[in-house]
């Protein structure tokens, strides 16, 4: 791997962060898988519909439903009826879910500090800025 392409270069630190966050959650007593986390991350504070989650995570609604079932069984989320549409239900984060989010946020902040130390503050901000701009042309749900 002398000169890996940008895709691989993006993937390496991504995977590193994901693995560390998931390992930390497991150690702290909040078991989650990567697939569950992908869905979980997209739930917003007012609650999100299944279809929204599926789209945002680039998967099918069936798969999203399957993963939400698991998150629900573990007590991280709950499903409540959507008052605005009787077909829909809102997936909301529970108190326990919020605890898990706090643990994940802590680890993520620690990793970002490590990266900032290694890269320097300027280069880190440039990296973030470049990734935000890249998102404009690569994220269909931005």
Q: 18 touches which of a second copy, DNA, none (CB within 5 to 8 A by kind)?
A: a second copy
Beta carbon nearer to DNA, 68 or 93:
68
Q: 60 touches which of a second copy, DNA, none (CB within 5 to 8 A by kind)?
A: DNA
Beta carbon nearer to a second copy, 23 or 69:
23
- CA distance readout (Å), 65 to 58, 60, 69, 81, 93: 13, 9, 6, 15, 15
The correct pick among 18, 42, 75, 89 for binding DNA (CB under 7 A) is: 89
Q: 115 touches which of a second copy, DNA, none (CB within 5 to 8 A by kind)?
A: a second copy
Contact between 24 and a second copy by CB under 8 A: the answer reads: no
- In our burial notation (b when 16+ CB lie closer than 10 A, e otherwise), range 81-92 reads eeeeeeeebbbb
Beta strands in the chain (DSSP E): 48-49, 77-81, 89-93
């Amino acid at each position: 791997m002398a000169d890996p392409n940008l895709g691989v270069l993006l993937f390496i630190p991504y995977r590193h962060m994901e693995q560390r966050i998931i390992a930390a959650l497991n150690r702290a007593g909040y078991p989650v898988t990567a697939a569950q986390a992908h869905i979980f991350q997209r739930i917003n504070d007012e609650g999100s519909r299944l279809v929204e989650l599926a789209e945002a995570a680039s998967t099918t609604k069936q798969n999203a439903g399957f993963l939400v079932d698991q998150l629900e069984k573990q007590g991280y989320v709950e499903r409540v009826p959507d008052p605005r549409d009787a077909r829909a239900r809102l997936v909301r984060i529970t108190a326990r879910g919020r605890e898990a989010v706090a643990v994940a946020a802590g680890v993520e902040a620690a990793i970002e500090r490590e990266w900032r130390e290694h890269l320097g503050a300027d280069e880190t901000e440039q990296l973030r800025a470049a990734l935000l701009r890249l998102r404009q042309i690569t994220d269909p749900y931005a």
